[in-house]
Amino acid sequence: MKAVLGGYRPGRIFKVGFVGLCLAACGGGVRRHDVAQDGPGGSGSEQTGGTTNVAHAGTSAGGEAVAPVDSRDELKLRLLTQAEYTNALGDLLGPLNTPLELPEDISVAGFVSVGAAQIAVNAPAVALYESASRAAAAEVFADRARWQKLVGCQPEADLSDGCVTSFVQSFGKRAYRRDLDESEVERWVQVGREAAQLSNADQGLAAVISGVLQSMNFLYRVESKKLDGTSGRLKYDGTSMATRLAFLLSGHPPSDALLAAAAAGQLDTAEGVRTAAAPLLNASGAVDRMAEFFSEVSQAEIVSVVSKSPDLFPSFNASLQSSMLQATQLFIKNIVLAPRADVRSFFDSDQTFVDATLAPLYGVSPPASGFMQLTLGPETARAGILGQAAVLAGHSQPDHNSPTRRGVFILQNLLCQTPPAPPDGVFTAVPIEPNQTTRQKLAMHLASPTCSACHQLVDPLGFALEHFDSIGQYRATENGLPIDATGTLDGVAFDGEASLGSALGQNSRALSCMLSNYYRDANGRVDAEADAALIGSLEQTLASKGYVWRDLVAEFVTSDAFRSAPVTRDEPGKQ
Amino acid sequence: MHFNADGEEPDVKPRRSNGVSRRALLRGAGVALALPWLESLAPRSAGAEGAAAPRRFLPIYLPNGAHEFWTPQLAGSGNAWQLSSILEPFGGTLKQKLNVLTGLENGSVFNADASSHVEPSHGRLAGAWLTCVDAVAVRQALAVEEANGISADQVVAQHGSFRGQTPFDSLQLGLSTPLGSCDGEPCSSSRSVSWADARQPMYKLVDPREVFDLLVGGAHAPDPDGTAAVEAQKRRARNQSVLDAVLENAARTRARLGKADQQRMDEFLGAVRAVERRVSSSIANAACPLPARYAGPRIEQSATAPRQTIPEGYDKGLHADAMSDLIALAFECDLTRVISHMLEDERSEFTYDNVAERAFTADSSSPKGGPCPEYHVAQHAGGDVFATITWWNVGKVADLCRKLDAIEEAPGVTVLDNTVVLLGGGMQGGTHAADQLPVVLAGGGNLGMKNDQHLLLDKRPLRDLYVTLMNDVLGVEVTEFGQNQTGAPLARVSELLR
């Protein structure tokens, strides 16, 4: 589970890196000054961090060659996500009852793991890490038997003996996910002794634990890679691979055994990685971690933070939001990731789940208790992830549908295509016309040359979902008028959501996008052009595995797409 | 649940993320400590300032606009103008430190046809008050549920001449209870005037006890023999030693990183240093007079809850006075130089039954009747009840200004003279219009501001005021801020400057 999240804001910030500026940017009328995201003095690091990389994420990198200039050992830091941090603490200290308040994850280019490689930690975040580490240490040291077991030896009161040294070495290694060097050991021993002098041995050891947990070597994933002459890519060393494998497949840091395998050189080859990955893939948490990926792709969690007009949608409340999200999570885990399932069911499955709260919205009678699996008949016009109420409601305005917004979501998240930038300063309100359908209203987007370049890409995809209102409920008509949900995707005609789902299931761009997305989630960065061939071969792998996702993952971790990174241009100004 | 000063004593409370650590930082305050063996761990950042006067910024938000009797009848300076009936609480010597600005408008939220009467207005106008951008447009542009722009106080707090100079770069405080609707906007628009950037509302603290703990760290606890203070001092020393090691560790690893990651690590290092500075600063050494601890009922705040009941025994006046004391403390002890304060949330529905209705004319008021009704109803009813509530809120700000003016920090110079207090609202009054906004400035006399004026401005953008205060008063150089869709070019309000 994620760390306890705040009541004020969602724990996950959906910083959709693709700045979908063109959506709704065309309403005609008054020209606005450009929308200031930041005033003067505003820190731009998060914003620009998200968008610069994402510029590569579109259909092409704009013809700009990626110049390999610097092949030196390059590191790329990823901050632990909330889930990774919480799991790591549990692994290091045992189960903790203390709720920990942690800095929020930020999603960039669709994934918190990409955000984790770009966000900078600010003072409030440091303070949260500080409080969390001290609270965790305090819980451990409140129980004498517990901390003595953790420390493994009985130190002198002033920590003057070797007990603290061996503890720093063993605890530090598990926290840093590598061996500590001598000076690192010495420094933490010194911290322990200073604190022990002020108080006692417990406080000294607690200070060591809390300090190590505040250290950047714990909080960040410091990875190391070197140029591999054969592939021309930067290959991760064994220790880095241990951490990468463990977090990707289990969400947890590497076990002692995995670190030992790395130290023995066993993670230097594809076969060694395959062997090491097998137990992780067979563990119960593996499917959960994979489900998180699909959950992020579908942005299902947004449904828990949107609000709807209480007048139009009185049934939309926290309980319904929660049921919607759970139903989508069940769909992902039990349908898309079922043991031998075809992953394309993500787009076109006729299965879903409802509980008593959600059943009326789907027009079915409620189950006696909990969630029940349901086969969606053709009359429901619903299928796959886009038919999930969580997704439909999450990508709608409070009081009306936004085919543009839904279309941008499909284009970006399911087809990995970024709409072009909008024209400067266009006023965005769409006129209210009670005697038209939304599609008729938005026709002006497609009529205006300024707007159509962008909107012709997104609006038609969104129109496919027009049979579902702002909370994902079926509607036969809009304003008493018939709904036109027809369109084409890469030459394949569709009429309605289920039909678009089928088209996506057979669409090569959609499948390629799914693999690009997985590459992003696994590596914490947006794929570069140099990765295109690798991602292409993953598509073949997926097909050869009968489209079973977990089999793809097993191959993915042994591939160069995960064991290495492309040589990219170094930072600007450092040619 | 969250933790007190040192994370070691769990304290059951609903947790919240308000942008600052609520760790009580300065445990042991008010106790003279003689622990020579701790000296090697004593604060190192204290007294780093030069002799220059601190510059401070205190924007205070007036919800629901102001009654029309806010505006003084005559314009001019000195004896040429007199306080209006609603601004009467600023009478006496305070008037000489005042500027009333009439004619400012927030064009960032005007309608597409440039008209100023905006609907729905409350959340939208409040959100734009200190940011001068239209949150609706920013949300559309970013395709997110919640956004705004960086607020003026945060531009100041993040500027090099402010950031890192004090234990807290800024504080966000308020008196909200809260009752009221968010008027169709994300509640952040009506409940947080401070935004760290386009995506980060900095929710305020509303319970004075929480603010007290943040500032003075539990020094209120009975400690007859001083042992608690000694323990607290030890804890602080331990925490500081840990942070030192964290800094060294990061600095060592930094050297191995690529340039982009080095920059990220610099931000991490800066952040750790900022936290360390809070740990090491101590108002115990600054001989700050601690105010009495707030004794009213606990006040819960929520960003999203539509309405909450007012706790039994709640007294708005007591709440306001306690918060004012803490603002004065924070400035006097230089714990921060930037505070945003909200007298209530926008579209507040708090019932001011603690205030007796008065009869108002443009120039004066006199006792009239019984308790005042609910604020938003009063706003739209207009008349004496609305005037009375506005007047009462003005009175609380005037009281705060007097407190600041009673603290002399250099010969003949008070804290108020080194502070720009900005009292203003997001809307004119009952009309929901975003022009003719209520704006009063107090203080700033030692920072280059003229005083004792009522300025009549002709449809000047509100952002002009912020840009003037930043550049010419607070020493924060900016070339632009916010938006203004009326087309008026950015210009300084030079009438304010000496």
Residue B316 and residue B395: Cα distance in Å, rounded?
A: 13
List all residues 6 or more positions away from A419 whose beta carbon is below 8 Å from its beta carbon: A18, A20, A22, A23, A408, A411, A412, A454, A457, A458
- Exposed/middle/buried for B283, CB within 10 Å: 0-12, 13-18, 19+? buried
Provide, as residue numbers in chain B, all residues whose Cβ is less than 8 Å from the Cβ of A12.
Answer: none
| Nearest-neighbour CA in chain B from A382: distance (Å) | 25
Do the chains contact at B143 and A23, CB–CB below 8 Å? yes
A32, A130, A427, A458: best to mutate for the B interface, most B CBs within 10 A: A130
Residue B75 and residue A415: Cα distance in Å, rounded?
A: 62
Do the chains contact at B21 and A128, CB–CB below 8 Å? yes
Do the chains contact at A43 and B8, CB–CB below 8 Å? no
Do the chains contact at B249 and A184, CB–CB below 8 Å? yes
pLDDT tens over chain B, length 498 residues: 232 333 332 222 222 222 222 222 222 222 222 222 222 222 223 333 334 789 999 999 999 999 999 999 999 999 999 999 999 999 999 999 999 999 999 999 988 788 888 888 899 999 999 999 999 989 988 888 889 999 999 999 999 899 888 888 999 999 987 777 888 788 899 999 999 999 889 989 999 988 887 777 544 344 556 566 666 677 777 888 888 899 998 888 888 888 878 888 888 888 888 777 766 665 444 456 777 778 888 887 766 665 667 888 899 999 999 999 999 999 988 889 999 999 999 999 899 999 999 999 999 999 998 999 999 999 998 999 999 999 999 999 999 999 999 998 888 999 999 999 999 999 999 888 999 999 999 999 999 999 999 999 999 999 999 999 999 999 999 998 998 878 888 999 999 999
Closest residue in chain B to residue A6, using alpha carbons only: B16
Tokens (6 digits) for A170: 């063993």
Closest residue in chain A to residue B16, using alpha carbons only: A6
Do the chains contact at B258 and A75, CB–CB below 8 Å? yes
Instruction: Please provide residue B119's backbone torsions phi and psi, each rounded to the nearest 5 degrees.
Output: -135, 145
Query: Alpha carbon of A206 to those of A92, A168, B140: distances in Å?
Result: 13, 11, 48
In sequence order, the β-bridge partners of residue A373 are A353
- Exposed/middle/buried for B493, CB within 10 Å: 0-12, 13-18, 19+? buried
Closest residue in chain A to residue B20, using alpha carbons only: A124
3-class DSSP assignment, residue B366: strand
Supply the pLDDT for residue B450.
Answer: 96
Residue B401 and residue A540: Cα distance in Å, rounded?
A: 72
Tokens (6 digits) for B75: 């314009």
Supply the pLDDT for residue B214.
Answer: 78
C-alpha closest to that of A413 among A452, A386, A451: A386
Of A33, A47, A132, the CB nearest to B485: A33
Angle formed at CA B85 by CA B83 and CA B91, multiple of 5 degrees: 45
A189, A198, A395: best to mutate for the B interface, most B CBs within 10 A: A198
| Nearest-neighbour CA in chain B from A554: distance (Å) | 30
C-alpha closest to that of B90 among B82, B79, B101: B82
| Contact between B43 and B281 (Cβ < 8 Å) | yes
Supply the pLDDT for residue B35.
Answer: 24
pLDDT along chain A (575 residues), means of 10: 27 37 36 28 28 25 30 65 96 94 85 87 85 93 93 92 95 97 95 91 94 96 89 92 97 96 96 97 94 96 90 94 97 97 97 97 94 93 96 92 91 89 57 77 78 84 95 93 93 95 96 96 89 93 97 97 81 32
List all residues 6 or more positions away from A379 whose beta carbon is below 8 Å from its beta carbon: none
Do the chains contact at B150 and A42, CB–CB below 8 Å? yes
pLDDT tens-digit series, residues B403-426: 999 998 888 999 999 999 999 999
Do the chains contact at A305 and B268, CB–CB below 8 Å? no
Query: Alpha carbon of B156 to those of A124, B47, B151, B451, B478: distances in Å?
Result: 18, 21, 9, 22, 10
C-alpha closest to that of A472 among A398, A403, A391, A397: A391
User: Do strands B56-62 and B339-342 pair parallel, antiparallel, or not at all (unpaired)?
Assistant: parallel
Of B242, B272, B303, the CB nearest to A8: B303
Closest residue in chain A to residue B255, using alpha carbons only: A75
Do the chains contact at B15 and A574, CB–CB below 8 Å? no
| Nearest-neighbour CA in chain A from B485: distance (Å) | 6
List all residues 6 or more positions away from B182 whose beta carbon is below 8 Å from its beta carbon: B122, B123, B189, B190, B191, B306, B347
Residue B140 and residue B124: Cα distance in Å, rounded?
A: 14
ipTM of model: 0.78
3-class DSSP assignment, residue A494: strand
Angle formed at CA B9 by CA B6 and CA B14, multiple of 5 degrees: 100
Of B249, B275, B302, the CB nearest to A123: B275
